[in-house]
């Protein structure tokens, strides 16, 4: 065995050929050495720790020069067994787990899960309208914050730094709203089976309206930077091409599917949470490339703002109405409020159960420790998340815990299209193609 020693690029012989472990340093010496070997086929491992793979994603590239002949994805580095864990917790506790799957779109995970629990309970029609409107409001705000990361990091990975700064600036504004409403900026566990954890605080609607106006102005910065920008278009047009036939056979949904010209958006085609009562457009392009998907995300921001405004109007009309189902056997008994050290149990509720009403205490204790039972059966519920169809398959055996929770994650499914999009292209375009799928590894690996 011959070993080439180089501080940055060690090499060793294996049965598969010579393997180099490159950690930085002078690329010229490495390129010269690889050029001297008789191997024409080079296999490069990109990731799992690579700044432009959109997370802990390992991409295995087979190269001929700079042309990619084969791509395979290696995933699983972020697998945390969330689905298994939920089987050992009550139905309500499940929300706290599933919100951590696709961590850029927590509200969508929560909503899909809660809609499925409600379907199993048969209380879909009993959810108060105010709760559904708050869900829509939160989902659309979340779509904005998620798309901001998709656009910002996508541009960053292709070498455009400024869009990332603007995108994260705008995302902060949305996260501030989340903090104001739910107490948390990410992984809120705010949507609960039967409604939402608590009503939006006083003054929140005013804040949301101000933020919406501010975002409308702010979005122009990225628009001016990228839309029609020659360099950006050269990096994204006709890159990562995937047509409608490719999308349907690979089960691709979301912006990637809409970039083929098909206006498939579950908010329109199979509405939930009352989306049929909102006025908005489904954005499509017909270029089926990275640029088309970028344009869709840019324009979906405006559509989300429109829905947020309509949701605010509805909330003003529905002021004072409940945000949790009336059925006390399901509705979470505890109330939250903001104290000196952040969000916690409301002192009024504590006084009631600890000092005033024995029955309230028993009720609280039973529901919080035991939870509620869900009739046996199974259900599948899908919502349109920023990345496509987030589907939840829930199975209940009639107990206080889920029998099986399965998330059909759009990131997991869509990442399969990497091979179809990238084989035959240049290595630099792999980055753009994967960024346009916008996979979130927390969702891919669960």
Partner 1 sequence: MSEDKGSFGVHGTGDTSGYSGLVRTQITPGSSERPFGGYFDDLADDLERAFPAFSDAIEKIVVDRGELTLYVKRTHLFETAMALRNTETLRFEMCMGVNGVHYPEETGRELHAVYSLLSLTHNRRIRLEVAVPDADPHLPSLVEVWGGINWHERESYDMFGIIFDGHPGLTRILMPDDWQGHPQRKDYPLGGIPIEYKGATTPPPSERRSYR
- Choice between 151 and 441, CB closer to partner 1: 441
Q: Which of 259, 413, 425, 436 binds partner 1 (CB under 8 A)?
A: 413
Q: What is the rounded CA–CA span in Å between residue 147 and residue 37?
A: 44
- Choice between 119 and 147, CB closer to partner 1: 119
Q: Which of 101, 379, 421, 437 binds partner 1 (CB under 8 A)?
A: 379
- Choice between 69 and 248, CB closer to partner 1: 248
Site for partner 1 in 107-126 (CB under 8 A): 119-120, 122
Mask for 212-251, x = binds partner 1 (CB under 8 A) = ------------------------------------xxxx
Site for partner 1 in 35-94 (CB under 8 A): 75-76, 79, 81, 83-85, 87-89
Q: Which of 150, 382, 422, 431 binds partner 1 (CB under 8 A)?
A: 382
Does residue 363 touch partner 1 according to CB under 8 A?
Answer: no
* Among 81, 84, 87, 83, residue whose Cα is nearest residue 109: 83
Q: What is the rounded CA–CA span in Å between residue 309 and residue 55?
A: 33
Does residue 365 touch partner 1 according to CB under 8 A?
Answer: no
Q: Which stretch binds partner 1 (CB under 8 A): 29-37, 214-222, 233-241, 391-399?
A: 391-399
Does residue 269 touch partner 1 according to CB under 8 A?
Answer: yes
Site for partner 1 in 136-165 (CB under 8 A): none
Q: Which of 264, 275, 280, 294 binds partner 1 (CB under 8 A)?
A: 264
CB of 123 to partner 1, least distance (A): 11
Does residue 393 touch partner 1 according to CB under 8 A?
Answer: yes
Q: Which stretch binds partner 1 (CB under 8 A): 47-55, 103-111, 213-221, 363-371?
A: 363-371
Does residue 96 touch partner 1 according to CB under 8 A?
Answer: no
Q: Which stretch binds partner 1 (CB under 8 A): 165-173, 229-237, 389-397, 428-436?
A: 389-397
Count CB-CB contacts under 10 A for residue 81. Answer: 11
Q: Which residues contact 369 (CB under 8 A, 6 or more apart)?
A: none
- Choice between 27 and 88, CB closer to partner 1: 88
3-state SS string for the chain? CCCECCCCEEEEEECCEEEEEECCCCHHHHHHHHHHCCCCCEEEEECCCCCCCCCCCEEEEEEECCEEEEEEEECCCCCCCHHHHHCCCCCCHHHHHHCCCCCCCHHHHHHHHHHHHHHHHCCHHHCCHHHHHHHHHHHHHHHHHHHHHHHHHHHHHCCCCHHHHHHHHHHHHHHHHHHHHHCCCCCCCCEECCEECCCCCCCHHHHHHHHHHHHHHHHHHHHHHHCCCHHHHHHHCCCCCCCHHHHHHHCCCCHHHHCCCCCCCHHHHCCCCCHHHCCCCCCCCCCCCHHHHHHHHHHHHHHHHHHHHHHHHHHHHCCCCCCECCCCCCCCCCCEEEECCEEEECHHHHHHHHHHCHHHHHHHHHHHHHCCCCCCEEEEEEEEECCEEEEEEEEECCCCCCCEEEEECHHHHHHHHHHHHHCCCEHHHHHHHHHHHCCCHHHHHC
CB of 417 to partner 1, least distance (A): 8
CB of 50 to partner 1, least distance (A): 20
Does residue 401 touch partner 1 according to CB under 8 A?
Answer: yes
Q: With CB under 8 A as the rule, give the number of residues binding partner 1.
A: 50
- Choice between 368 and 426, CB closer to partner 1: 368
Does residue 324 touch partner 1 according to CB under 8 A?
Answer: no
Q: Which stretch binds partner 1 (CB under 8 A): 15-23, 53-61, 287-295, 404-412?
A: 404-412
Q: What is the rounded CA–CA span in Å between residue 211 and residue 219?
A: 12
Does residue 339 touch partner 1 according to CB under 8 A?
Answer: no
Residues contributing to the site for partner 1 (CB under 8 A): 75-76, 79, 81, 83-85, 87-89, 119-120, 122, 248-252, 262, 264, 269-270, 369-371, 376-380, 382, 389, 391, 393, 395, 397-401, 403-404, 406, 408, 412-413, 415-416, 445-446
């Amino acid at each position: 065995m011959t070993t080439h020693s180089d501080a940055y690029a060690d090499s060793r012989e294996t049965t598969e050929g010579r393997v180099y472990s490159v950690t930085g340093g002078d690329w010229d010496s490495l390129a010269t050495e690889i050029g001297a070997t008789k191997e024409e086929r080079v296999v490069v491992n990109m990731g799992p720790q690579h700044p432009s793979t959109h997370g802990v994603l390992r991409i295995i590239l087979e190269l001929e020069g700079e042309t990619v002949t084969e791509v395979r994805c290696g995933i699983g580095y972020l697998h945390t067994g969330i689905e298994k864990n939920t089987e050992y917790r009550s139905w309500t506790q499940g929300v706290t787990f599933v919100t951590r799957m696709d961590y850029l779109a927590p509200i969508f995970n929560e909503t899909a899960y809660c809609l499925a629990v409600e379907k199993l309970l048969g209380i879909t029609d009993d959810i108060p309208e105010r709760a559904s409107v708050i869900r829509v409001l939160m989902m659309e705000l979340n779509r904005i914050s998620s798309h901001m990361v998709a656009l910002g990091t996508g541009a960053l990975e292709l070498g455009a730094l400024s869009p990332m700064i603007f995108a994260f600036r705008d995302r902060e504004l949305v996260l501030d709203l989340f903090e104001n409403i739910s107490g948390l900026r990410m992984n809120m566990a705010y949507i609960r089976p039967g409604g939402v954890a608590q009503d939006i605080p006083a003054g929140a609607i005013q804040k949301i309206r101000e933020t919406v106006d501010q975002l409308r102005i702010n979005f122009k910065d990225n628009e001016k930077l990228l839309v029609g920008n020659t360099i950006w278009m050269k990096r994204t047009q006709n890159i990562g091409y995937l047509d409608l036939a490719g999308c349907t056979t690979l089960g691709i949904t979301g912006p990637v599917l809409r970039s083929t010209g098909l206006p498939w958006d579950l908010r329109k085609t199979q509405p939930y949470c009352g989306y049929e009562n909102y006025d908005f457009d489904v954005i499509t392009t017909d270029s089926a490339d990275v640029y088309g998907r970028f344009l869709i995300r840019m324009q979906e921001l405006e559509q989300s703002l429109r829905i947020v405004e309509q949701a605010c109007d509805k909330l003003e009309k529905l002021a004072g109405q409940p945000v949790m189902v009336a059925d006390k056997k399901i509705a979470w008994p505890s109330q939250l409020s903001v104290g000196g050290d952040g969000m916690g149990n409301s002192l009024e509720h504590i006084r009631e159960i600890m000092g005033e009403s024995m029955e309230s205490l028993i009720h609280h204790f039973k529901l919080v420790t035991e939870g509620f039972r869900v009739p046996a059966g199974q259900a599948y519920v899908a919502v349109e998340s920023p990345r496509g169809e987030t589907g939840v398959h829930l199975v209940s055996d009639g107990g206080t815990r889920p029998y099986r929770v399965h998330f059909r994650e759009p990131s997991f499914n869509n990442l399969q299209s990497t091979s179809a999009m990238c084989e035959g292209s240049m290595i630099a375009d792999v980055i753009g193609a994967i960024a346009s799928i916008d996979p979130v590894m927390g969702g891919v690996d669960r």
